[in-house]
Chain A
Amino acid sequence: MSSLPLAVARRRHRRGVRHTLDVRVSPYAYVAPFLLLFCAFGLFPLAYTAWVSLHDWTLLSDEHAFVGAANYATLLADGYFWNAVFNTLSIGVLSTAPQLVLAIWLAHLLNRPLRFQTLFRVSLLLPNVTSVVAVVVIFSQLFGRDFGLINWVLSWFGAGAVDWAAGTATSHVALSTMIMWRWTGYNALIFLAAMQAVPRELYEAATLDGASGFTQLRRITLPMIRPTIVFVVVVSTIGAMQIIAEPLLFSASTGAGGVGASGGPDRQYQTLALFVYEQGFTKFDFGYAAAASWLMFVAVVLVAGINYLITRRMRGGLA
């Protein structure tokens, strides 16, 4: 007769084990797909790139000699690498700073009862859904030296033809314009979403007190959406560190240095990512390119880290 309670106990015990298993293991099972994908496409390439960067590794040969940190040493002494760092920062600042100001202004304009609201919002996003190739091809024509629209307009004011792609500053301006064209509207929408969460009463009270639109933007809107601003700043800086398509296509579609991926004959607009591409995929020096991409990764982490510190500070200030 004693077998019945035993069976019950066993069953209960089994259920208990199953329950603990469920509680302990299931969460891991649920996140496993992400982790697996992350390992395969995030972690593994990262580690493998580090491994490759320690070798004399070219695509053209099957032998890869271990060279230690030699690639990094060469890289840190390579003027072209530092030139790319400078260009990346320059284009990054030139494109991000005006872009954010413009985006906030656009969002502010749209953050009021308007007719055809959806139409305006959709049209903000349109440049972002356009393919980057189309954008660069069109803008390269606008910035053309001989038959470009911009030079034509400038000529009304007696300005000579500007060779946009040739100069360092001018090419950076041209590239920043393309980046701004694509991302301003997108960022404006994010700002707009944040602005709509700001309580209406604040504006009503301010209006009663006689505050102008600009004062309201400065004193109410901006402080209230500060976390969003920081988020957008961080995301834009990370994006700016990785610019490659614009300069690559710009050099192919303007006459200036259509050869290779050097970003102009004087490397005047070669960004870090383009430098990596040039070393890896036109010179096939994978070891060197891997070392460069690791340093680029470090740079992105640094910039993101600095921004994280600012974020914490600003949140503290708001709370």
Chain B
Amino acid sequence: MPPRLHRVAVPLLTACLLTLATACGGGGGDTAGTAAKPGEKIKLTVGLFGDFGFKPLYEEYRKTHPNIEITENVTQFNDHHNNLVKRLATNAGADDIEAVEVGYISTFTAQPAKFYDLKQYGLDKRQGEYLDWKWQQGLSKQGGQLLGLGTDVGGLAMCYRKDLFAKAGLPTDRTEVAALWPTWEKYIETGRKFAAAGVAGAKFVDSPGEIFRAMVNQAPTGLYDDQDQIIVGSNPAVKQAWDLSNQLTSEKLTAKLAAFTPPWNTGFAKGSFATIICPAWMTGFIQEQAKDAAGKWDIATVPGGSGNSGGSHLMIPRQSKHPKEAAELIDFLTSKENQAKVFKEEGTFPSIPALYDDPSIQSFTKPFFGDAPIGKIYSAAAKALKPQHLGPKEAEVRVAIGNGLGRVEQGKQTPDQAWAQVLEDVKKIK
């Protein structure tokens, strides 16, 4: 092809192809992946749910990569993941880097064709650093491709209000509090004592929903078995968690405030509940929501042994025009140093075990939580973690069960009626 013709034909052809691709609504033309010329400005977008504490990192990244411009798009948890599904299906609108929470990770790793394989960009070199199960979660179902790199893990702990505990005549020291609840039964018993003391305007716990999730996450298997079959109806651990959660309701220990709703936020500010299940990332939430309550919250170990609740991965959808640059940014955001930094700022706990014994983490305390040694608490929780297999419709199953707990909480059904309906609902999930 003569050079002049080439110069005209290539953009023309690209334009035609692009128009065609958009006209067909997702023909899926793989026009991406072209390396940027040096010195060219590149815009990367990062899609998150909630604050990941990445903002200072972007600033830092810009110093070494002056040609990269980073925009962060934050949406609510449910919207974020639903939108991502839509954007993948329509092949338009996804960000260059998308955060995916662990409840949805299997949904997306089941679609390896929609994401870049990060091995292509050499990120498999990071495998040795990661918790093995966290690494595995980011692999495609058949295991061949590396689709997501982990950010944080949600090792469990229990946060409690010291002032409310004192009012109820309960101990306030975190080791004594931890000794109150080695098991969930003991936790409920403590709740009973708290309720008996009659602290005005305060219940023992916010709502049973997150407690249920934590209890299920502590079991060796949860909502799915290893073959991706839903085992809600047959797993005794799930039924036990259900019964204990409803016991909280029937004994009137909950403030009936569903997590992440505006009334729940108000509840934080007003001190409507004395305990809340505290995966590491929750500490950031509490700090944000209960600004006036500095020094009143403290952290103790969780009843019933360790478990993981939450945590995320970063993925690059096929739509991204700059996968190479996005992969570099992911490598940076999830690096050992930066995970440590984010933990200290935002509370999300690293998924890199080498950090757990790091003196700077081990000695890390937070004044907001009465100088609780949160580094030590969450390291211990993360080390004791037994990973659990998560299925593709994890989030949907959780919604069905959450609604069941809600029906009991609102007094619409008995726990048995609600359980029967949950099983019906779950059966319909394809």
Number of residues of chain A lying within 8 A (CB) of chain B: 31
Check if A23 is an interface residue, CB within 8 A of chain B: no
B-contact bits for A235-268, CB 8 A (1 contact / 0 none): 0000000000000000011111111101011101
Whether the pair A59, B85 counts as a contact (CB closer than 8 A) is yes
B-contact bits for A52-72, CB 8 A (1 contact / 0 none): 000000111000000000000
Whether the pair B256, A255 counts as a contact (CB closer than 8 A) is yes
B-contact bits for A271-289, CB 8 A (1 contact / 0 none): 0000000000111110000
Whether the pair A60, B107 counts as a contact (CB closer than 8 A) is yes
Whether the pair A252, B261 counts as a contact (CB closer than 8 A) is yes
Nearest chain A CB to B114 CB, angstrom units: 10
Whether the pair A166, B410 counts as a contact (CB closer than 8 A) is yes
Q: Look across to chain A and name the residue whose beta carbon is closest to the beta carbon of B88.
A: A59
Nearest chain A CB to B93 CB, angstrom units: 14
A-contact bits for B197-209, CB 8 A (1 contact / 0 none): 0000000000101
Q: Look across to chain B and name the residue whose beta carbon is closest to the beta carbon of A59.
A: B89
Q: Look across to chain B and name the residue whose beta carbon is closest to the beta carbon of A283.
A: B396
- How far is A59 from B26 in the complex, measured between Cα atoms in Å? 13
Whether the pair B78, A145 counts as a contact (CB closer than 8 A) is no
Across the interface, which residues of B come within 8 angstroms of A281, CB to CB? 82, 86
Across the interface, which residues of B come within 8 angstroms of A285, CB to CB? 430
Across the interface, which residues of A come within 8 angstroms of B260, CB to CB? 258
Whether the pair B263, A60 counts as a contact (CB closer than 8 A) is no
Whether the pair B107, A257 counts as a contact (CB closer than 8 A) is no
Check if A176 is an interface residue, CB within 8 A of chain B: no
Whether the pair B78, A259 counts as a contact (CB closer than 8 A) is yes
Across the interface, which residues of A come within 8 angstroms of B207, CB to CB? 255
Whether the pair A265, B404 counts as a contact (CB closer than 8 A) is yes
CB within 8 Å: A-B pair count = 93
- How far is A252 from B78 in the complex, measured between Cα atoms in Å? 10
Check if A140 is an interface residue, CB within 8 A of chain B: yes
Choose one: B89, B261, B267, B409; the contact of A253 (CB below 8 Å): B261
- How far is A146 from B111 in the complex, measured between Cα atoms in Å? 44
Interface residue ranges of B387-430 to A (CB < 8 Å): 396, 398-399, 402-407, 409-413, 429-430
Q: A265-B407, A282-B78 are in contact. Are A60 and B111 (CB under 8 A)?
A: yes
Q: A166-B410, A266-B407 are in contact. Are A255 and B399 (CB under 8 A)?
A: no
Whether the pair B412, A146 counts as a contact (CB closer than 8 A) is no
Across the interface, which residues of B come within 8 angstroms of A257, CB to CB? 258, 402-403, 406
Q: Look across to chain B and name the residue whose beta carbon is closest to the beta carbon of A74.
A: B428
- How far is A252 from B265 in the complex, measured between Cα atoms in Å? 13
Whether the pair A145, B403 counts as a contact (CB closer than 8 A) is no
Nearest chain B CB to A13 CB, angstrom units: 42
- How far is A145 from B255 in the complex, measured between Cα atoms in Å? 11
Check if A147 is an interface residue, CB within 8 A of chain B: yes
Classify chain B's interface size.
Answer: 35 or more
Across the interface, which residues of B come within 8 angstroms of A253, CB to CB? 261-262
Q: A140-B262, A145-B263, A262-B403 are in contact. Are A256 and B410 (CB under 8 A)?
A: yes
Whether the pair A255, B270 counts as a contact (CB closer than 8 A) is no
Whether the pair B82, A255 counts as a contact (CB closer than 8 A) is no
B-contact bits for A112-146, CB 8 A (1 contact / 0 none): 00000000000000000000000001001100111
Check if B264 is an interface residue, CB within 8 A of chain A: yes
Across the interface, which residues of B come within 8 angstroms of A140, CB to CB? 262
Q: A60-B111, A284-B85 are in contact. Are A265 and B263 (CB under 8 A)?
A: no
Whether the pair A265, B403 counts as a contact (CB closer than 8 A) is yes
Across the interface, which residues of A come within 8 angstroms of B258, CB to CB? 255-259
Nearest chain B CB to A108 CB, angstrom units: 38
Check if B257 is an interface residue, CB within 8 A of chain A: yes
Across the interface, which residues of B come within 8 angstroms of A144, CB to CB? 263, 266
Whether the pair B430, A256 counts as a contact (CB closer than 8 A) is no
Across the interface, which residues of B come within 8 angstroms of A264, CB to CB? 406
Whether the pair A147, B266 counts as a contact (CB closer than 8 A) is yes
> Which A residues fall within an 8 A CB radius of B?
58-60, 137, 140-141, 144-147, 163, 166, 252-260, 262, 264-266, 268, 281-285
List 14 additional contacts besides A146-B267, A265-B403; criterion CB under 8 Å.
Answer: A59-B85, A59-B86, A60-B107, A144-B266, A146-B272, A147-B266, A166-B411, A253-B261, A256-B406, A259-B78, A259-B406, A265-B404, A265-B410, A266-B412
Please list 21 pairs of residues, one from A and one from B, whose beta carbons are closer than 8 Å in the complex, sorted by A's number: A60-B85, A60-B110, A141-B262, A146-B263, A146-B272, A163-B256, A166-B412, A253-B261, A255-B263, A257-B258, A257-B406, A258-B260, A259-B209, A259-B398, A260-B403, A265-B407, A266-B403, A266-B407, A268-B412, A282-B82, A285-B430
10 nearest CB pairs, A to B? A265-B406, A265-B403, A166-B410, A258-B261, A59-B89, A255-B258, A260-B399, A255-B263, A258-B258, A265-B407
> Which B residues fall within an 8 A CB radius of A?
78, 82, 85-86, 89, 107, 110-111, 207, 209, 256-264, 266-267, 270, 272, 396, 398-399, 402-407, 409-413, 429-430
